[in-house]
Amino acid sequence: MGQNYLASLSHFIPELLACLTMFGLILIEATYKEEQKGRGFLFLAAGLGLASVTVFSFFALGKEPVAIFTNSLIIDSFSSSMKMIMVLGTLGAVYLTSQSSDIEGNLKPEFIIMATGVLVGGMLLSSANNMLVLFIGIETLSILSYVLASLKKGDERSSEAGLKYSLYGGISSGIMLFGMSHIYGVVGTINFTEIAIVLKSVDQTQIAILLPAFLFFFVGIGYKIACVPFHMWAPDVYEGSPLPVTTFFSIVPKVAGLAALIRVSQTFFATPGALNIGWVGVLSIVAALTMTVGNVSAIGQRSVKRMLAYSSISHAGMMLMGVLVISELGTRSVIFYSVAYLFMTLVAFYVVSFVSDKYGNDHFERFTGLVFRYPLMAIAMCIVMFSLAGIPPFSGFVAKFHIFTALLVKKYYVLAVIAGLNSVVSLYYYLKIVRLMMLKDAESTESISGFSIMNQSAVLALTIPVVILGIFWEKLIIMADGAKVFLQ
């Protein structure tokens, strides 16, 4: 199965390109330190690099799945699509960085570089096929994220966020490793494929060890997805870190973690048995809790950013629903959900960022009567909010619909109902913003300013998919259908 390394490299181009972009950016950063034009150049380079990554991973989509580097990485259409999503998310975050005034100018390049690094980690994670790569991926992701979290120099909140993140990351990756070690002890290999084979025939005592071990293992991924009860760092970090960073965090690490989780679940726990039952049970409890806690906490928030952070937690729970049905339907639904979620989150954070740049903070009151000041922004935000709540004809609804299809084919009626009720609760706080924006009269009616045509077009360009994918979603679902996890 293993191919020689040069051959493997040909499948590894996206990751390589990402690394290349990273290095290139570092060089550019090093050459032009302070000049403005250099920064523009930098953004351009970053854009081009990431775009090329997207292109390549897009071309990797249709291809036969291959296991490269002695079967330590698997490049299949599933991983490629996840990668694409991550790259797009990074692009979005990068663009936001270029516009946002939440990060001082001289930190923006750093952010981009780090983000690319995180992206690389995510890509590794999404196609990791043995524990080592998984671990490396997670660490790459985490360590750079710690830095990102504490990006704001001299801002104590930011640094505190970084601190917490790092400590939390440290302990959870430690626990994960501890779990891994025991798994390795029992099954005698770190390669997923072989583990899967071994797992087919394990006796009772081994299971007694494996179950806790896998739980420890889950901690590592779970905290990346920020699912209850490993979510507690998330709000603090999301709040503490600059807005583009938050945007980035609420997309890329989540998607990466989900990718890893899906692969793990599908490789290890596809076969029914004690392990399967235990894993699914844990996941379903976690998913239900995640959604509920996320929504309930989101209701009480004053800051929209924080509200979105919590809502992203609840959406992670929703996606976990798609994971815990260990099936291709689930995978498909998760991919679709991630795509929809990507666009929705980006638009939402864009709007929040523009608003908070203009008015200093992003409390709900700032959104009052937004429609009279920035109609486009308000309407886009409206659409996104409805979409996040899962109201047709927007992509959020379709995503939810697919999650339901995945759940109900396995007859998880209770989970489905819980998910449904949660989306009702979520509608409540999404409506809160809509209400403020559309129904309230503006506290002050300034003319449309500070919202450049470029940003407008960006928001528009990101909103259109939210609508289109809600009505003509067949192409995407077929694509997602093709993106199966490669099992040997």
Partner 1 sequence: MISLSSYLFISFTLFVAGIAVMIARKNIIAMMLGIELILNSAALNFAAYTRFINNNLEGHLMSLFIIVIAAAEAAVGLAIVIRFFQIKETIHIDDAAQLQS
Partner 2 sequence: MQASSNLLNWILWTPFLGVLGVLFIPKSKEGLIRWWALINTAITFVLTLVLYSKFDITVPGMQEAFNVKVPWISSFNIFYSLGVDGISLPMIVLTGLLFMLCIMSSWTITKQIKGYFALFLFLQSTVFGVFFALDFFLFYVYWEVMLIPMFFLIGIWGGENREYAAVKFFLYTFFGSILMLVGMVALYYASGKGVDSFNILALHGGRFSNLTIDLFGTTMSFSKLFFVFLFIGFAIKVPVFPFHTWLPHAHVQAPTAVSVILAGVLLKMGTYGFLRIAYPIFPGASVHFADAIAWLGLINVIYGAFCAMAQTDVKKLVAYSSVSHMGFVMLGLAAMTVTGMNGAVLQMFNHGTSTAMMFLLIGILYERSHHRWIVRPDGSKGFGGLYTQLPKFSIVFIIAMFASMGLPGLSGFISEALIFLGIYEKFTTITVLALIGLLLGAAYLLWMFKRMFFGDVIEECKSYTDMNAREIAYMIPLCVAVVVFGIYPAPVLNVMRASVGKLVSMLATY
Partner 3 sequence: MEYTISTIAPIVLLPFFAFVINAFIVKRFTTLAVIISCASIVGSFFYAARVFFDFLNVFSADYYIHKTFTWFDLSYGSFPFKMDMGIYIDNMTATMLFMVTGVASLIHIFSTYYMHDDKRYGRFFVYLSLFTSAMLALVLSENLISVFIFWELMGFCSYSLIGFYYEKEGAGNASMKAFMTTRVGDVFFLLGILAIWSVVGSVSFVDIYQAIGMGKFNGLYALGIPLATFAGFSVFMGTIGKSAQFPLQVWLPDAMFGPTPCSALIHAATMVAAGVYLSLRCYPLMEAGHLTTFIAYIGGITAFGAATIALVQTDIKAVLAYSTISQLGYMVLGVGVGSYNAAFMHLITHAVFKACLFLSAGSVIHSLHDHHTHAHVQEMPRMGGLKSKMPYTFLAMLFCTLAIAGIPFFSGFVSKDRILGDALLMALDNKVYWVPAVLGFGGALLTAFYMFRMMFLTFFGEPRDKELFDHTKKETLSWNRNLPLLILSLFTLGAFYSGSLTGQGFIKVAGEKYEWFQTLIEKPNLLKFNNKESQAFGFASNPSSETFQKSKYDSNHGLSAEKAHHVHHVHHIGALISIVIAFSGVFIAAMMYFWRSWNPGFWVSLFSRWYRALQNKYYFDDLYIKGFIQKGLLPLNNFLAFVDMGIYDRYAVDGWEKVNRVMFTMAKWFDNIIVDTVAVDGTGASVRFFNVILRTIQSGKIQFYFIMIILVLTGYIWTLNI
Residues 370-409: x/- map of binding to partner 2 (CB under 8 A)? Answer: ----------------x--x-xxx---x--xx--xx--xx
Distance CA 230, CA 244 (A): 23
**Residues 412 to 431 in contact with partner 2, rule: CB under 8 A:** 413-414, 416-417, 420-421, 423-424, 427-428, 431
- The CA distances from residue 60 to 54, 104, 235, 374, in Å, are 10, 37, 35, 40
Sorted by sequence, the CB contacts under 8 Å of residue 202 that are 6+ apart come out as 186, 187, 210, 275
- Locate all alpha helices (DSSP H) within 150-203, ordered by sequence: 156-187, 192-199
Distance CA 360, CA 354 (A): 10
**Residues 220 to 239 in contact with partner 1, rule: CB under 8 A:** 232, 235-236, 239
DSSP state letter for 34: S
Distance CA 316, CA 259 (A): 12
71 or 295: whose CB is closer to partner 3? 295
Distance CA 374, CA 85 (A): 29
Residue 362 contacts partner 1 per CB under 8 A: no
Query: Whose CA is closest to 108, among 119, 117, 98, 118?
Result: 98
- The CA distances from residue 287 to 318, 332, 426, 427, in Å, are 7, 18, 15, 19
Residues 115-154: x/- map of binding to partner 3 (CB under 8 A)? Answer: ----------------------------------------
Select the span of 162-170, 244-252, 427-435, 438-446 touching partner 1 (CB under 8 A): 162-170
Tokens of 441: 């009269």
Q: Count of residues binding partner 2 (CB under 8 A)?
A: 34
Residues 83-122: x/- map of binding to partner 1 (CB under 8 A)? Answer: ----------------------------------------
Select the span of 81-89, 211-219, 363-371, 375-383 touching partner 3 (CB under 8 A): 211-219
Residue from the set 27, 44, 208, 409 that interacts with partner 3 by CB under 8 A: 208
Do 56 and 13 touch, CB atoms closer than 8 A?
A: yes
Q: What is the smallest separation between the CB atom of 439 and partner 3, expressed in angstroms?
A: 18
Instruction: Give the helix, strand, coil percentages of the chain, each rounded to 5.
Output: 80, 0, 20
User: If DSSP codes are grouped into helix, strand and coil, which group holds residue 221?
Assistant: helix
- Which residues of this chain interact with partner 3, rule CB under 8 A? 164, 167-168, 171-172, 175, 208, 211-212, 215-216, 219, 229-230, 232-233, 278, 281-282, 293, 295-297, 299-300, 425, 428
- Which residues of this chain interact with partner 1, rule CB under 8 A? 130-132, 135-136, 139, 142-143, 146-147, 150, 153-154, 156-157, 159-164, 166-167, 169-171, 173-175, 177-178, 180-182, 184-185, 188-191, 232, 235-236, 239-240, 297
- Which residues of this chain interact with partner 2, rule CB under 8 A? 386, 389, 391-393, 397, 400-401, 404-405, 408-409, 411, 413-414, 416-417, 420-421, 423-424, 427-428, 431, 434-435, 438-440, 473-474, 477-478, 481
